[in-house]
Structures are given as C-alpha cells and as structure tokens.
Amino acid sequence: MPAAIAMSRVPDSMNRTPPTADSAIKPARRLTQRPTIRDVSRLAGVSRMTVSRALSDPDLVLPETRARVAKAVADLGYVVDRTAGSLSSRRTGFIALMLPTLTNANFAAVAQGLTEALREAEYHLLIAYTDYDMVEEERQLRNLLARRPEAIVLTGAQHRRTASRMLNSAGVPVVEIADLPSQPIEHAIGFSNYQVGRTAARHLIDKGFSRIGAIAASPGGAVTDHRGEERMRGFEDELRLSRQPTDWVLRHGTAPVSFHHGAEAIALMLERQDRPQAVFAVSDLSAVGAVMECQRRGIRVPEDISIMGFGDFEIGREINPALTTIHVDFRALGNRTGAMLLDMLASDTVAEPRIVDVGLTIIDRASVGRV
C-alpha cells in the first residue's frame, strides 16, 4: 500500500562544509585579462609568428621549439581565440555549461533552469559533457574557451591542474555547481555531497538498522564520480561516528552509475550470508536498479531489505514501493546560477567570490522500513 510522503529538513549541525549562505571568501583571484599570444611568445622566448605556427602547423617548427611553446601554453592557461578575426566587441552572447553527462535528469534540470534565467537577457548555452572523465573535461574546456563564452559554469570542484589554470586565466566569471568547495575557482552554487552521505546514514540509523550498506562506483583513474565519492565518505564517517560497522559499503564498477549498476551491486550484497538490512545508493538510478533486482529474486522491499537513494528522480517516485531519497532542487540551482551570472555580467566591476548553499531535503517513502 502506498506510503505517505514525509519531508524533513536536515539539521545545520550536520553540515561540515562552511559557509551555508552567500558569503565572501578569499581564494586566489582569477586574472582579469586572458593570456595572449604575445604572453606565450615572451615566456617561450620565440616570436609570435613562431607561436602561431607551432599551434596551427606544428610540423613546420623544430621539436625543441614546439616543446617550449607547449610548456608556455600550459603554464599560462592560454587558449586560442578563434573569434578574434570576426568579433568587433567582447560580447558573444554565449554561456558555457560543462556537465558530467547528458543522460541524468537532474543535470538536464540544471540546464533548463539556467536557460530559463538567461533567455530573456538573450544569452545562449554552449553545452559540453565529460562522461566523468577529467581528461575529457580539460579537452572540452579548451574547446569552449576558444569560442569566447562570457561566463563558464561547470559541475563539481575537482579539476586537473591545466584545467584549473585555464579557468583562472579565463577572464570571465566562473561558477562551479552541484558541490560546495571550500576554495572554489571563483563562485560556487550547490550543496554538500559529504552532507548527503551523512544525512542518509543518519536517517537509516535513526530507523533502527544496525547492518547498513551503501553502493557506488569505484573511484580512481581519470573516470571518477567525485561527488558520489564524497557522499560515500560522508556516509562512512557518520557510521563510524555512530559506532556502526562499514562492512557493507561497496564500491563497484565505473561511473556513471545506472540501473544495471545498482542491480549488479545489490546482487553481490544479497549473496552474502550476513546481508545488510538497509542500503543507500549514491544515485536513485542505482537504487531503482537495486529494488528491481530484489523483486526479481523474490526479496521484499522494505520487509526484507530497505533501499534509499539520492536525487529524487521521477522513476523513484513511480516505482512500487516508492523510493526514499534525498532531494535537491536542481532546476532552482540552475535558476540561481543564471541570476548570479546576469548580475555579474551587468556590472562593470569584478564580483566578490561567493558560495551559495541550496540545501537538501529527506523524502521518506515506502522503500525504507523500520526495525
């Protein structure tokens, strides 16, 4: 029988990521001017023509010279300006948006909210995605910057060194979303993924469970869901603080997670003699896959095992039993990002860096029972 939906706010005391409201911070300031080909030529000790040739037709340049130019480009975070010959002003009307995937409904909601906020001001999105690959993020960032966006929005706060240099040197507003880094590149709008994990563990502990598990993708290498791993870190820390074992925390497979990932991971747990009483999945996609696998095996949810997710995806609301989850308003996150950008782009001065916490909410549905 369907369960009533109860919504409860997460206590501020569980959030370890300060601050929780708009506030000024003091990270290293971004450069106000983009590096130029002249800067590269000076650093490399060669002429601008040689730099141009090394970038456009490298076979015409000696290997040693190419290496010096490449090092100068990397050190400065220089990006080729492909619009320099056609633009008479700095305004392009484009905002760059970098997402880890296009198949996640929450990231689609971010793009929708951002588009809604920017549309009336006649700004348009240039969207790229990385498949959770930091090398691909760097490549896509270089491509986006070459088209001179007026601002850059990208997901998360983990970047390779060269990507960070390009962002610091971009000369336009940079906003990192869906996370709350203590030292962002410039601005951040999101929520604490660490708090998500702690909140999920505390919810299951408060329900009376003592054998509590979690499932996520394995970290490591270029392809890593850093936000999912932060959720797992928070989950494990809350278990330890409550003197609960972490024996049933499972990292399995590679990002991005999916229904299939959840089915595979829960199958491994169910084969253990001491299987867990409750499981948190770092995404509703894995959680739904886990529920489906349990049903295929004749294991009742939540009577035999409780399952909880993150993201409040539509499918989690429609399956039976409906999925207990943690909700973040990703569309509103996109709206707030757009509003912040419009405010900054309308100003003649560089905005002070800000961190904005959009918060999160537990939605208690039928897939989690009580001991």
pLDDT, tens digit, for every residue of 77-104?
998 876 655 444 567 899 999 999 998 9
The predicted pLDDT at position 18 comes to 45
Class of 192-328 in CATH: alpha beta
As separate numbers, helices (DSSP H) first and strands (DSSP E) second, the chain gives 12, 13
Mean pLDDT of the chain: 90
- The pLDDT tens digits for 320-329 are 999 999 999 9
Does the pLDDT of residue 354 top 70, yes or no?
A: yes
Q: Contact, 255 vs 231, CB < 8 A?
A: no
Cα–Cα separations (whole angstroms), residue 183 to 26, 89, 187, 343? 8, 32, 9, 22
For position 56, what pLDDT does the model report? Answer: 86
Q: Residue 14 has what pLDDT?
A: 52
The CATH code that applies to domain 37-191+331-357 is: 3.40.50.2300
Q: Where are the domains of the chain?
A: 37-191+331-357, 192-328
Domain 192-328 in the same topology as domain 37-191+331-357: yes
Helix axes 284-296, 259-270, angle to 10 degrees: 50
Global pTM value: 0.81
- Extract the tokens encoding 171: 């000369």
- Give the DSSP letter of residue 350: P
Rounded to an integer, what is the distance from CA 326 to the centroid of its chain? 16
Angle, in degrees to the nearest 10, between helices 37-44 and 48-56:
100
The dihedrals phi and psi of 249, each to the nearest 5 degrees, come to: -85, 120
